[in-house]
Amino acid sequence: MGDTDIHETRAELGAILEDAARKKRLYLLAKRFARGGETPDDVIGTLCVKLLSGKTPWRRDEHPDLLDHLGSVMSATASNLLTSADARRQRKFHTPEEETRVRDGRAGAEEQLLDDEAERRMEQRLGRWLVALRKDRADDGESMTLLDSFERGVLAAADQVADTGWHIDDVRRVRRRLFDRAAIVMQTHPDDSGQYVARGAES
């Protein structure tokens, strides 16, 4: 089956927006995935434009409920934003060993310093969201093991190798997955003291 007819899509979208329960569910999804200074209404507006323009067409065979399709689009968009920088970095290396070497050239060295600094900031911040992250990652045994390291104050990847007994490549792989989720959790959940971070206040 192909894309759902645009008139049918428009009618179903209208039905969602007119139904209080379904509209609330859409709003809560948009609130979860809002980034930067976005409001849920901003997210929904952009989502509707992409949907009705055919950029993110509704394929009913994959998602019989349009709400599920919209949630999938929001999730994919957030994931792409979170991982694009990491993906660009990874494409520059053919092996994990190349990734660990100091890069030649000023541009490469500067980029490495920025990456390292971002990772250090995440290491320091992550420990403030252990409760929320443990709940979010409850079914991810590897992330839970690494969270144990962070709770013990073992923050650096090299130190976590000894703490977990894993290979450095496995530590980095799980850290990337954990940090991607942490970036979302830190914006949508209170920290362990019950405080929410103002959107855009930390990066």
Residues 115 and 153 in one domain: yes
Beta-carbon contacts of residue 40 (< 8 Å; ≥ 6 apart): 27, 30, 31, 34
Burial class, 53, CB count within 10 angstroms (exposed 0-12 / middle 13-18 / buried 19+)? exposed
Residues 64 and 114 in one domain: no
Residues 73 and 110 in one domain: no
At 82 the pLDDT is: 59
Statement: residue 202 has pLDDT above 60: no
CB atoms within 10 A of CB 100: 12
Q: What percent of the chain has pLDDT over 70?
A: 74
pLDDT digits (tens, 9 = 90+) for 78-100: 766 655 545 444 444 444 444 44
Residue finishing a domain among 36, 54, 79: 79
At 110 the pLDDT is: 47
Residue finishing a domain among 79, 106, 130: 79
Distance CA 119, CA 76 (A): 23
Q: Considering the chain, what is the average pLDDT of its residues? A: 78
Residue whose token pair is 């929320």: 132
